[in-house]
Amino acid sequence: MAIVTHDLDQDAITEDGIPIVSTRRFHSAIVRVLLKFYRVLHWGEMLLVRLYKPYYRRRTGRKEPDPWEPYFVENVLKSFAAAKAAKTLRPRFVFGHEAGCYGLPSAYCKDVPSFLFPWGADVFLSAETSPVYFRLIRYALHNVDLVLPSSVTAAKHITARFGVASDKVIPVSWGADFSLFQRASAQNRRHILERFSIPSDAFVICNPRRFRPAWGCFAALDAFMALAEERADLHFVMVGGAGTEAHVESALLAIEQRGLLSRFTILQEDIPITVFADLMSIADVFVSLLGRGDMRSSSVLQAAAAGAVPVIVDNPEYQEMTRCGFMARLISSADPVKIADAVKSYLHDPDYLHATRETNYEYLQKNEDARTQMAHMLDLIQTVCLEYERGCA
């Protein structure tokens, strides 16, 4: 296995020994020249996005795109090098993460089995920022062997919106790793609470999504501060992550101004998955507020597997899950009052909280075991690879 990325200047190796191949040395001469004039090209795409902003609002219901959503020129220029870098590895197959950045490179890897994993915002939001981006993503989706979104409703959307044949679009949730995400024992809970300076008798409420405005971080913050002022037994955990530093600083200032710093644990940097799992294992309630563009989020599945009960902004995918037995407080929007009321519904009814935790654990064990889900995905990949190999024989 190897990783091909635009993001590094030179090749590297992960801590697990997996080689990372930088695309930089594979750029053609003409692409190198065009990248030097990227600012001019970027100005053109910014103008295009501005012209189509009213269309974006109508299609998505959002006021404007997030900063990373609408821009495609750099991805297009780098896509040829990414495909070339991948093919030099003589891979058995390529698996593209996210249709905007790595959709085209995956599609350009001709004569190699290719698979594309849309992340959500790419097919629900980025594709609506301009007709050019829409066509680029549509091309990528049509020109890989299988599209493997993590949600049922995303699969339906890709088929309907982009015209991809339904037998090419197969939803596969990534599930939750139950060996990692599980409820903390009483002893482990004490140790984790002590490690993060959280009171031993605290009721813990968590936002496991990155601290980004589009993902509802400030709505969650407002709801959490209001709840903190109502009840002294509540403690709040929020996850920052790379690229969120300015938002986290703003949040810390707001918390300090209201005298609530001791009631919050905000992790400003990226954290290992094991630390994230520890925090989820002591959480009683979690919120997930992304809305449109959200898939069957791994964060949601992991937090629920660890025993936290959900407050989620309603979207068709979570409706699908609830129809199949998952339990959640679904709220219509990331409104702080609605968030706080949903959290309080659990606080006021411990029996319902416990029933939700137990029901969701059973649902996840049956439907969302990561080992089963990944085995299914690998079976799909293996089938396509064998078809290629038989064709070459």
Mind spelling out the 3-state secondary structure of the chain?
Answer: CCEEECCCCCCEECCCCCEEEECHHHCCHHHHHHHHCHHHHHHHHHHHHHHCHHHHHHHHCCCCCCCCCCCCHHHHHHHHHHHHHHHHCCCCCEEEECHHHHHHHHHHCCCCCEEEECCCHHHHCHHHCCHHHHHHHHHHHHCCCEECCCCHHHHHHHHHHHCCCHHHECCCCCCECCCCCCCCCHHHHHHHHHHCCCCCCCEEEEECCCCCHHHCHHHHHHHHHHHHHHCCCEEEEEECCCCCHHHHHHHHHHHHHCCCHHHEEEECCCCCHHHHHHHHHHCCEEEECCCCCCCCCHHHHHHHHCCCEEEEECCHHHHHHHHCCCCCEEECCCCHHHHHHHHHHHHCCHHHHHHHHHHHHHHHHHHCEHHHHHHHHHHHHHHHHHHHHHHHC
Please report the pLDDT score of residue 29 as a whole number: 87
Please report the pLDDT score of residue 393 as a whole number: 46
Same domain, 257 and 339: yes
Same domain, 253 and 282: yes
What CATH number corresponds to the domain at position 247?
A: 3.40.50.2000
Same domain, 169 and 243: no
> Which domain range does residue 91 map to?
3-175+372-392
The answer to whether residue 180 sits within a structural domain is: no
Same domain, 94 and 142: yes
The residue that leads in pLDDT, 380 or 17, is 380
The answer to whether residue 10 sits within a structural domain is: yes
Mean pLDDT of 345-359: 97
Q: Which of 10-24, 84-98, 217-231 bottoms out in mean pLDDT, i.e. has the lowest?
A: 10-24
State how many domains the chain has: 2
Same domain, 154 and 74: yes
**Mean pLDDT over the full length of the chain:** 92
Mean pLDDT of 170-190: 96
Same domain, 364 and 377: no
List, for residues 118-163, the tens digit of each pLDDT value: 999 899 999 999 999 999 999 999 999 999 999 999 999 999 999 9
Mean pLDDT of 79-104: 92
Query: Is it the case that residue 211 has pLDDT exceeding 80?
Result: yes
What CATH number corresponds to the domain at position 118?
A: 3.40.50
Same domain, 157 and 219: no
Same domain, 17 and 138: yes
Mean pLDDT of 352-360: 97
Same domain, 313 and 278: yes
Mean pLDDT of 287-305: 91
* Local confidence band at 392 (pLDDT 50, 70, 90 cut-offs): low
Mean pLDDT of 375-383: 96
pTM for this structure?
0.89
Query: Is it the case that residue 385 has pLDDT exceeding 70?
Result: yes
Same domain, 206 and 137: no
Same domain, 363 and 383: no
Percent pLDDT > 90 in the chain is 70
